[in-house]
């Protein structure tokens, strides 16, 4: 499967790229071609050194990455969502888009700051062409642990989506990462509850002097 990670130069996008690259072709998308290429080269080196394996990771502009992909991961800060989709809109067809976007603000502490429609996922859905299937996932996975392939994750990934087939594809992608468990949380509308857990985890880490928190349902 070809997976494009838009915003793949960040830590959570990078973690997904490195973890998936052993089983899939990974395309790092960026607004700057040179940055995408340099990042892809870095990830190939990380995998070679940590796993001793070569892999298919390459970089290109966001629009080109979208055009080539079966699955697209939207891993950009909330404030860049609109511009990222606008530059890639013409190349979006019937792919699956995974949103890991969380709108939050810092005001002495971190708080969830959703748009008027209730969540980043619902806003993104309104911008996507007909036929594109949106799934919300990976919001509450520690980016640092995800990037470090020596870390055992042992976390759950909450999945929200309106298309059962697309949800199943994302569940299998979650299972491709060792010690991550997919859990269906409900339709896309439930994404607001899942997204809001991210600033909660950040606040818990800060106030209790903890690091790299995730969620495990027991």
Q: Is the pTM of this model over 0.75?
A: yes
Mean pLDDT of 52-64: 86
Alpha carbon 89 to chain centroid, angstroms:
18
Burial 25-59 (b: 16+ CB within 10 A, else e): bbbbbbbeeeebeebbebbbebbeeeeeeebebbb
Mean pLDDT score of the chain: 93
SS3 call for 186: strand
Listed in sequence order, the DSSP H helices in the chain are: 11-20, 33-51, 62-68, 81-88, 120-127, 143-147, 164-175, 191-195, 197-207
Give the pair of three-digit tokens for residue 60.
Answer: 């290109």
pLDDT in tens, 146-185: 988 888 899 999 999 999 999 999 999 999 999 999 999 9
Q: Do residues 66 and 4 make contact, with C-beta atoms less than 8 angstroms apart?
A: yes
Q: Which domains does the chain have, with CATH numbers?
A: 2-207 (3.40.50.720)
Q: Do residues 197 and 157 make contact, with C-beta atoms less than 8 angstroms apart?
A: no
Cα of first residue to Cα of last residue in the chain, in angstroms, is: 32
């Amino acid at each position: 499967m070809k997976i494009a990670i838009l915003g793949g130069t960040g830590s959570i996008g990078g973690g997904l790229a490195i973890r998936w690259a052993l089983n899939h072709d990974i395309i790092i998308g960026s607004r700057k071609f040179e940055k995408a290429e340099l990042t892809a080269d870095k990830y190939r080196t990380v995998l070679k050194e940590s796993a001793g394996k070569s892999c298919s990771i390459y970089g290109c502009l966001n629009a080109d990455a979208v055009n080539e992909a079966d699955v697209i991961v939207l891993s950009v800060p909330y404030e860049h969502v609109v511009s990222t989709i606008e530059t890639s809109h013409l190349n979006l067809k019937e792919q699956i888009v995974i949103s890991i976007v969380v709108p939050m603000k810092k005001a002495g502490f971190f708080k969830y700051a959703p748009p008027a429609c209730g969540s980043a996922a619902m806003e993104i859905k309104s911008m996507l062409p007909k036929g594109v299937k949106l799934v919300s996932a990976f919001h509450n996975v520690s980016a640092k642990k995800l990037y470090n392939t020596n870390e055992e994750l042992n976390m759950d990934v909450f999945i929200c989506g309106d298309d059962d087939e697309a949800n199943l594809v994302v569940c299998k992608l979650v299972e491709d990462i060792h010690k991550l468990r997919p859990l269906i949380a409900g339709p896309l509308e439930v994404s607001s509850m899942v997204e809001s857990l991210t600033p909660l985890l950040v606040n818990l880490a800060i106030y209790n002097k903890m690091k790299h928190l995730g969620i495990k349902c027991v």
